[in-house]
Structure 1
Amino acid sequence: MDVVVGLDSGTTATKAVTAGDDARVRDSVSVGYALQVPRPGHAELDAGRLCTAAVEALAGATRAATERGDRVVAVCLSAAMHGLVAMADDGSPQGPLLTWADQRAADRAAALVADGRAGPLHDRTGTPVHPMSPLTKLAAATDEDATRVSGTPRWGGVKELVAAALCGGPHVVDRSCASATGMYDLRGQRWDEEALAIAGVRRDQLAEVLPTTAVLPGLRPEVAGQVGLPADLPVVIGAADGVLANLGIGAVRREVAAVSIGTSGAMRVVVPEPMIDPGRRLFCYALTDEAWVVGGAVNNGGSVVRWAARTMAAGFDAEGPQGEDADALDARLVEEAAAVPAGSDGLLCLPYLLGERAPWWRAGLRGAYLGLRRYHHRPHLVRAAIEGVCQQLALVRDAFAGTGLPVREVRATGGAVAAPLWTRTLASALDLPVRLADSPEGTGLGACLLGLHALGALPDLDAATTLVDIAEPVRPDPDDANLYRRLRPLVEQSTQALADVFTALDAAVPVARVPEGLT
């Protein structure tokens, strides 16, 4: 069978997924790497390791395809959004890559909000002004050392870095990843002049923006030799990971939302043209010229359970879990929490361990438990944290409704939703049926499908709706859904009431370093 490799470079791993025009995942290869958190607010990747991981994953997928008797006819690139890395003229990295989770630009983002420029920037670029974005990261770097920023030959993110490592050639990025930088005018389809001035960079330092279906010249000869593919193999520039997740689970029609819950989470819907939320709670990023993705990402997903394992589970120390792996420990805690009734016996969790994005877009939010009583134990705390994440996604759904985008069906993917408690809680919090993708590789499969589309083998992306295998829906429990609906205003009220308290607490007790083992 002819297959495309969807190469997805993410925050903690690069995955290479192979699939043909039947949209069935044939193989999946993952190469992991560590997210580096040397200080509070820092979240970096070794940019060189990101490049070598892409080569290793592609080589592994090629071997698996060859052993199966498949023929790789193209590679399509997917990349995590909002990264920033300094690059030399030849595309090699000149330092670490700052990920979406890096918070060093928080003060710069707050200043743009305070002086009134954040709103118009959001309206033009589709990206909320937040420390996640390359706009604010560059602006903060310019404030610190304008000469260094202006003197760096290239600035880019994950996609620019990986494309250069695999293919060489000119400095390029796809429209999807560009639309997530906070510096790209969606309707004008060009780098935004005001954003460039704020960032302190010139247009020639940023990549040429290509359609997501553009085909690059091919692989570097040395890379082709390493991975076992011809140097002239078509390499499709591809798109950002979030929008490809919609495609990979067939959520490409109006009123069908994609929800992903991995380390973080998101809810997204596809619309035919750029659309901006008047309340500025949602983002808008490109998939293709005819498909744009509106949605909201939450910083905290399955990470809340991993935090609980580190904090509350016996047998977990600074070196990691002892006697069982981290995933098994997470699963055990979730199973314990399933015995607790909905509402966690009156315990409410604000799960903002990593600050928060949608719908608040406030990096300074912090986690909190409200209503804690003596009879609450570890299962209550874990269940309340899961409920808190699902309530955040329900607030994103409410923002859709306020923007005139009703959601009738949810298709979900990600490691967390493999646990029945997560899926049941999500369905009840959203009060919507939730259907799970048969394959967990939504983003990688989406890259394969976009690659097939670029080659002409999949003329209509809407075909993904019926091509992708989806399980029968998990339906909301009416009593639980009613309870979560009544509790949601308390989540909003407590978040707003505590926001200033969190700011004052940070000022009163600054954390100079990350305690050992909690990175």
Structure 2
Amino acid sequence: MDVVIGIDTGTTATKGVAAGLSGELRALTSVHYPLSVPGPGRAELDPRQLTAAAVKALTDVASECARRGDRVVAVSLSAFLHALVPMDDDGRPLGPVITWADGRSGEQADRIVAAGAARELQARTGTPVHPMSPLTKLAWWGETDPGTLRGTPRWGGVKELIVAALSGSPFLVDLSVASGTGLYDIHSRQWDDEAVKIAGVRREQLAEVLPTTARLPLRPDVASAAGLAADTPLIIGAADGPLANLGVGATPPGVAAVSLGTSGALRTVVDRPTNDTAGRLFCYALTEDRWVIGGAVNNAGSVVRWAAQSFAAGFERPGAEGEDADERDAALLEEAARVEPGSEGLLCLPYLLGERAPWWRSGMRGAYLGLRREHGRPHLVRAAVEGVCQQLALVRDSFEAEGCSITEIRATGGAAASELWVSVLAGALDLPVSVADVPEGTGLGACLLAWHALGELPDLDRAATLVPTGRHTRPDPSAAALYGRLRPLVERSALAVLDVVTELDKLAPEPLPGTEKAVGS
């Protein structure tokens, strides 16, 4: 079979998949690495680990394709959004990757908002002004180390990093990733003058923007290591969120995709760049004529992993000695599923990594409210899951406020394998949820986009017929009604405690050198 390999660089792992034109997955691999937290509000990755993981994922999947007798006709790339990394002229990193979860530029974001520039910037760039965005990260560099900001030859993100590692064409970025930087005018299709000025960089320090279907050459040594033909094209691809919609078949009107990975998001596809009037939703490109609107939440599966690390010391089931972190998470979720919806009056604000949609406010922090003596570990874990799903429901409410009606959800990501996650999501959204019957929707989306670039899949909506769906979960009416009553309390609580957590942040000591933490593996 002719196949395309999709390489999806994520926050804690790079996934590699191979898929035929029918959407059938032929191979799958995953290469993990830690997310470093060197201080409060910071979240970084080692760029060398990212590039090594991309090469290994490509090589491993290509080897499996060769074993099966499949012919690889292209390689396609996906990458997570909002990263920033200093680079030299050849695309080599000069420092760590500052990820979307890094909140160090909160003060800069707040000042842009206070100056009244945020709404117009978002209308032009499609990206809310928030510490996640490269715009505010660059502004932070300009205030803390202006010499490095000006003197660094290039500023890029994960896609530029991986393209430079796999291609002979350094410092290129796709339209999709560019549309998530907060620096690119999605209407005029060029770097935005005001945003670039606020960031303190020059246009020549930013990458050339290509269509998401652009073909590039593979580096000869990379092709050779993977056992691929020297002329195998590299499709530059898109960002992970828009590709997840494509990979789960959530491209027709009324169908939205929910990603439940380390972070989460709810997105739907439209046919032109669109921004909501209240500034609650982002707008990023899938292709030049298909765009994705939605909202991302910083915390999803990472919250359960944190709960497992924090609440499960010594937690072992009979006969489960030596189980890995994923198995432990699953066991905790199974335990939490026995708690009734609403967690017996316990409310969780799951903002461990801050929060994004729908408020796009810097400095948000997590909390448990209503905690009583009778609450135990199962309540804490279930409340965390409910908190994430309620946040996604607030994003869905923003869709409805703009007249964009959603009638069906297609879910993807590691957490979507959990029945608890899916049942709570269906209840919080009060919508049926279909779990895509593919283990890696984003990677499959990268493959389908490549088939589109090769001219073999002209109509992207055909993806909805190619992607099989697994279990179909309808919301429990009583749970949906309860979550509907609780949701205003989530919003009120989150905004009410913002002043308090801002003061608490000021009291948090900086970590001593060498005490940084790693999250995930």
Shift of 1:449: 0.1
Shift of 1:489: 0.7
One-letter code of the match for 1:259? V
Which position in structure 2 is the counterpart of 1:376?
Answer: 375
Name the stretch that deviates more: 449-458 or 49-58. 49-58
- Confirm or deny: 8 A CA contact 1:315 1:323 kept in the other structure: no
- Confirm or deny: 8 A CA contact 2:3 2:18 kept in the other structure: yes
Counterpart of 1:36 in 2: which secondary structure? strand
Which position in structure 1 is the counterpart of 2:244?
Answer: 245
Change (3 A) 1:97 1:62: same
- Confirm or deny: 8 A CA contact 1:44 1:97 kept in the other structure: yes
**Partners of 1:159 and 1:170 in 2: CA distance:** 11
One-letter code of the match for 2:409? V
Which position in structure 2 is the counterpart of 1:189?
Answer: 189
CA deviations over 1:382-425 (Å, ceiling 9, x no partner):
11111111100100000000111110000001111211111111
Shift of 1:510: 4.0
Which position in structure 2 is the counterpart of 1:275?
Answer: 274
One-letter code of the match for 1:486? R
Counterpart of 1:345 in 2: which secondary structure? helix
RMSD after superposition: 1.6
Aligned residues: 515
Shift of 1:323: 3.2
Shift of 1:464: 0.4
Which position in structure 2 is the counterpart of 1:20?
Answer: 20
One-letter code of the match for 2:30? S
Identity of aligned residues (%): 63
Change (3 A) 1:518 1:377: farther
Name the stretch that deviates more: 145-154 or 197-206. 145-154
**Partners of 2:502 and 2:171 in 1: CA distance:** 40
Shift of 1:378: 1.0
- Superposed counterparts of 1:493-512, under 5 Å: 493-512=492-511
Which position in structure 2 is the counterpart of 1:296?
Answer: 295
- Confirm or deny: 8 A CA contact 1:37 1:44 kept in the other structure: yes
Which position in structure 1 is the counterpart of 2:416?
Answer: 417
Which position in structure 2 is the counterpart of 1:95?
Answer: 95
Change (3 A) 1:121 1:495: same
Which position in structure 1 is the counterpart of 2:258?
Answer: 259
- Superposed counterparts of 1:430-509, under 5 Å: 430-509=429-508
CA deviations over 1:171-204 (Å, ceiling 9, x no partner):
2110000000000001010000011111111111
Which position in structure 1 is the counterpart of 2:232?
Answer: 233
Shift of 1:74: 0.3
Shift of 1:324: 2.2
**Partners of 1:505 and 1:38 in 2: CA distance:** 19
- Superposed counterparts of 1:170-181, under 5 Å: 170-181=170-181
**Partners of 1:326 and 1:363 in 2: CA distance:** 30
Shift of 1:230: 2.2
Shift of 1:508: 3.3
Shift of 1:223: 1.5
- Confirm or deny: 8 A CA contact 2:256 2:267 kept in the other structure: yes
Shift of 1:231: 2.5
- Superposed counterparts of 1:25-64, under 5 Å: 25-64=25-64
Which position in structure 2 is the counterpart of 1:139?
Answer: 139
**Partners of 1:398 and 1:142 in 2: CA distance:** 37
- Confirm or deny: 8 A CA contact 1:5 1:61 kept in the other structure: yes
- Confirm or deny: 8 A CA contact 1:90 1:168 kept in the other structure: no
- Superposed counterparts of 1:328-343, under 5 Å: 328-343=327-342
Shift of 1:322: 7.6
Q: Which runs of 5+ in 2 are unaligned?
A: none
**Partners of 1:269 and 1:345 in 2: CA distance:** 33
**Partners of 1:159 and 1:465 in 2: CA distance:** 26
One-letter code of the match for 1:193? D
The two structures have a TM-score, normalised by structure 1, of 0.97
- Confirm or deny: 8 A CA contact 1:310 1:316 kept in the other structure: no
Counterpart of 1:449 in 2: which secondary structure? helix
- Confirm or deny: 8 A CA contact 1:91 1:168 kept in the other structure: no
Shift of 1:368: 1.1
Change (3 A) 1:478 1:511: farther
Which position in structure 1 is the counterpart of 2:125?
Answer: 125
- Confirm or deny: 8 A CA contact 2:264 2:297 kept in the other structure: yes
Shift of 1:65: 0.3
**Partners of 2:349 and 2:31 in 1: CA distance:** 33
Counterpart of 1:195 in 2: which secondary structure? helix
**Partners of 2:195 and 2:379 in 1: CA distance:** 45
**Partners of 1:35 and 1:371 in 2: CA distance:** 31
**Partners of 2:516 and 2:34 in 1: CA distance:** 15
**Partners of 1:316 and 1:100 in 2: CA distance:** 32
Shift of 1:117: 1.2
- Confirm or deny: 8 A CA contact 2:103 2:354 kept in the other structure: no
- Confirm or deny: 8 A CA contact 2:38 2:511 kept in the other structure: no
- Confirm or deny: 8 A CA contact 1:258 1:410 kept in the other structure: yes
- Confirm or deny: 8 A CA contact 1:105 1:140 kept in the other structure: yes
**Partners of 1:67 and 1:194 in 2: CA distance:** 52
**Partners of 1:168 and 1:138 in 2: CA distance:** 27
CA deviations over 1:116-135 (Å, ceiling 9, x no partner):
11111111101011111111
**Partners of 2:517 and 2:118 in 1: CA distance:** 36
Name the stretch that deviates more: 283-292 or 35-44. 35-44
One-letter code of the match for 2:309? R
One-letter code of the match for 1:444? G
- Confirm or deny: 8 A CA contact 2:77 2:235 kept in the other structure: yes
One-letter code of the match for 1:428? G
Shift of 1:145: 2.3
- Confirm or deny: 8 A CA contact 1:316 1:322 kept in the other structure: no
Counterpart of 2:5 in 1: which secondary structure? strand
Shift of 1:364: 1.0
One-letter code of the match for 1:276? N
Counterpart of 1:471 in 2: which secondary structure? strand
One-letter code of the match for 1:23? G
Name the stretch that deviates more: 153-162 or 37-46. 37-46
Which position in structure 1 is the counterpart of 2:10?
Answer: 10
**Partners of 1:416 and 1:342 in 2: CA distance:** 18
Shift of 1:339: 0.9
Shift of 1:471: 2.3
**Partners of 2:168 and 2:45 in 1: CA distance:** 21
**Partners of 1:323 and 1:59 in 2: CA distance:** 30
